A and B are shown apart, each in its own frame.
Chain A
Amino acid sequence: MSVVEATPVVRKTVLNAVHRQMGAKMVEFNGWDMPVEYPASIGCGIVAEHMAVRTGVGIFDVSHMGDIRLAGREALAAVQHISMNDASRLAVGQAQYSALLYPQGTFVDDVIVHRLGEDEYLLVINAGTREKDFNWVRDNTRQFDCKVEHLSDDFTQIAIQGPKGVNVLQKLTDADLSAVKFYWVTRGTVCGLKNILMGRTGYTAEDGFEIYIPPDEETSARVWHEILAAGKEFGAVPCGLGARNTLRLEGKLPLYGHEISDTINVWEAGLDRFCKMEKPEFVGRAALEKAKAEGVKRTLVGLEMIDRGIARDGYKVLDEGGREIGYVTSGSPAPFLKKNIALAYVPPAQAAVGTMVKVDIRGQGVKAQVIPTPFYKRPKKAAKSE
């Protein structure tokens, strides 16, 4: 008999009961029953949660994210083969944004590659692509002396995001977080749990941490509540996927199935700086070399709505004359920027900042303009004055 991978109806993180208890509005996201927002009665809602992350701190259950560990003598060679960024530049304890590509130069998924040890790497992958990613990584690393493990269900992953995120987590750990730079990791005791992995990473275009704790329900719930309690003095609120989406959109962080997919290549998505063509070999490289020489037919741009209206995922983009030229990949009101923004694929000829276009909103061509991205960039920390 053959092993058939059953598709479970809907998956839950171990914090599911906690979210429901807190009154979260739940939605299905990529096969997961997840909180989209918490209730206004506890100071939440997408806008409030979004603002908390921009100005203070917000706490997210991101346990639906997957994890793949590669370890062994040839782990680096394996990671180099399957990812587009240059993992040889990573020191132990450092992380980088990267992507797994098909031979066509399109996306299997985008990932964060963490170098945990001399010959040990952890890839953090998307929820909706867990099985696909793991199978793809396993199949494409068989020639290397390297063990590949699927650890997606081994952690409860909690994100503590916002300028005050560091202050909140510092109250709960013995590790010196001020020594951890953005996109670096450390280990330490967190809420009494020893040797917990903490990465200064996130998906909110803000400073913050993601921690990886044991996945049992009791421990996960305890830590979740302890983080919220520790964050109280900084205005911490629990945040759902709604705010996670608007936060990442303001920062132009791609979402799989929207800005990147198995039919969109690296150059179209504008992720050039994470793709190291100076690496002699990786899956997708040859196709990308060819695609670069040919030039792209579409490119990802940021739009701001000029007239009243909100561009939504999948809406058509029109030129000023009303001819269809592209489509919106993600669109929403931007709670911090207080304008309606969108990411869209359009031909390079219409991609220059300042170009006027229209978005087809229920049959009406609503005026929009190409504007610089990312829409939001977090303020650089002011130099310490003595």
Chain B
Amino acid sequence: MPYPTDRKYTKEHEWITADGMIGITHHAQGSLGDIVFVELPKVGTEITIGKSFGTVESVKAVSDLYAPVSGTVTGVNEALATAPEQVNKDAHGAWMVKIKVKDPSEMNALLSAPDYDKFVSEEAAH
């Protein structure tokens, strides 16, 4: 799976675009399995780098969504409330929240697409 190069990635398997759209990776949706529920913050919520800002649930388990960087939520993908399976179908298209990034320099510490790809393959080898 080629990871889009228009965004950055975290080791917790989230992605974030330069304009602050956040979602989870194709690898993450695959390991979660059938996604049945996504719980997201309201517009205006402050989210903090490394902290949980929502949850995604598969049939089997609940997983936290971690903020790749700090910021303020300016938009929420409401379609996921009724169609959470979109995350399985198109993880890199199914954005979850859009944020106004507080400190753009925080983006620099995130993984590039090739680095994330490498990280995922190394994780799988364990």
Q: CA–CA, A40 to B59, complex, Å?
A: 14
Residues of chain B contacted by A47 (CB below 8 angstroms) = 34, 59
B37 x A37 contact (CB < 8 A): no
- Of B33, B57, B88, which is within 8 A of A37 by CB? B33
B33 x A310 contact (CB < 8 A): no
B33 x A46 contact (CB < 8 A): yes
Decide if B108 is an interface residue (CB 8 Å cutoff).
no
Residues 27-70 of chain B, each 1 if its beta carbon lies under 8 Å from chain A, else 0: 00011011011000000000000000001011110100000000
Q: CA–CA, A333 to B61, complex, Å?
A: 10
Q: CA–CA, A335 to B35, complex, Å?
A: 12
A45 x B36 contact (CB < 8 A): no
Nearest residue, chain B, Cβ from A36: B60
Q: CA–CA, A284 to B88, complex, Å?
A: 49
Nearest residue, chain A, Cβ from B29: A40
A333 x B36 contact (CB < 8 A): yes
Q: CA–CA, A309 to B55, complex, Å?
A: 11
A333 x B59 contact (CB < 8 A): yes
Residues of chain A contacted by B81 (CB below 8 angstroms) = 308
Q: A47-B59, A242-B60, A335-B59 are in contact. Are A310 and B37 (CB under 8 A)?
A: yes
Residues 14-40 of chain A, each 1 if its beta carbon lies under 8 Å from chain B, else 0: 000000000001000000000011001
Q: Report the interface size for chain B: residues with CB under 8 A from the other chain.
A: 14
A25 x B31 contact (CB < 8 A): yes
Q: A36-B60, A362-B55 are in contact. Are A242 and B33 (CB under 8 A)?
A: yes
Q: CA–CA, A242 to B31, complex, Å?
A: 13
A246 x B37 contact (CB < 8 A): no
Q: CA–CA, A362 to B60, complex, Å?
A: 17
Decide if A332 is an interface residue (CB 8 Å cutoff).
yes
Residues of chain A contacted by B36 (CB below 8 angstroms) = 310, 333
A308 x B60 contact (CB < 8 A): no
Residues of chain A contacted by B30 (CB below 8 angstroms) = 40
B34 x A45 contact (CB < 8 A): yes
Residues 78-104 of chain B, each 1 if its beta carbon lies under 8 Å from chain A, else 0: 000100000010000000000000000
Nearest residue, chain B, Cβ from A50: B59
Q: How far is the CB of A153 from chain B (nearest CB, A)?
A: 28
Nearest residue, chain B, Cβ from A332: B59
Task: Specify which of B55, B58, B62 lies most central, judged by the most chain A CB atoms within 10 Å of its CB.
Answer: B58
Q: CA–CA, A246 to B34, complex, Å?
A: 13
A46 x B60 contact (CB < 8 A): yes
- Of A45, A308, A309, A312, which is within 8 A of B33 by CB? A45
B57 x A310 contact (CB < 8 A): yes
Residues of chain B contacted by A36 (CB below 8 angstroms) = 33, 60
Residues of chain B contacted by A46 (CB below 8 angstroms) = 33-34, 58-60
Task: Specify which of B34, B37, B58, B59 lies most central, judged by the most chain A CB atoms within 10 Å of its CB.
Answer: B59
A242 x B37 contact (CB < 8 A): no
Residues of chain A contacted by B34 (CB below 8 angstroms) = 45-47, 335
Residues 304-320 of chain A, each 1 if its beta carbon lies under 8 Å from chain B, else 0: 00001110100000000
Nearest residue, chain B, Cβ from A27: B60
A246 x B59 contact (CB < 8 A): yes
Q: CA–CA, A36 to B57, complex, Å?
A: 16
Q: How far is the CB of B84 from chain A (nearest CB, A)?
A: 10
Nearest residue, chain A, Cβ from B61: A312
Q: CA–CA, A46 to B58, complex, Å?
A: 9
Residues of chain B contacted by A308 (CB below 8 angstroms) = 37, 81
Q: How far is the CB of B65 from chain A (nearest CB, A)?
A: 13
Residues of chain B contacted by A45 (CB below 8 angstroms) = 33-34
Q: How far is the CB of B60 from chain A (nearest CB, A)?
A: 5
B33 x A25 contact (CB < 8 A): yes
Q: How far is the CB of A97 from chain B (nearest CB, A)?
A: 26
Which chain B residues in 6-31 approach chain A with CB under 8 Å? 30-31
Residues of chain A contacted by B55 (CB below 8 angstroms) = 362
Residues of chain B contacted by A25 (CB below 8 angstroms) = 31, 33
A to B CB contacts below 8 Å, 30 in the list: A25-B31, A25-B33, A36-B33, A36-B60, A37-B33, A37-B60, A40-B30, A45-B33, A46-B33, A46-B34, A46-B58, A46-B59, A46-B60, A47-B34, A47-B59, A242-B33, A242-B59, A242-B60, A246-B59, A308-B37, A308-B81, A310-B36, A310-B37, A310-B62, A332-B59, A333-B36, A333-B37, A335-B34, A335-B59, A362-B55
> Taking beta carbons and an 8 Å cutoff, which residues of B are in contact with A?
30-31, 33-34, 36-37, 55, 57-60, 62, 81, 88
> Taking beta carbons and an 8 Å cutoff, which residues of A are in contact with B?
25, 36-37, 40, 45-47, 242, 246, 308-310, 312, 332-333, 335, 362
Cβ-closest 5 pairs across A and B: A46-B59, A47-B34, A333-B36, A45-B34, A242-B60
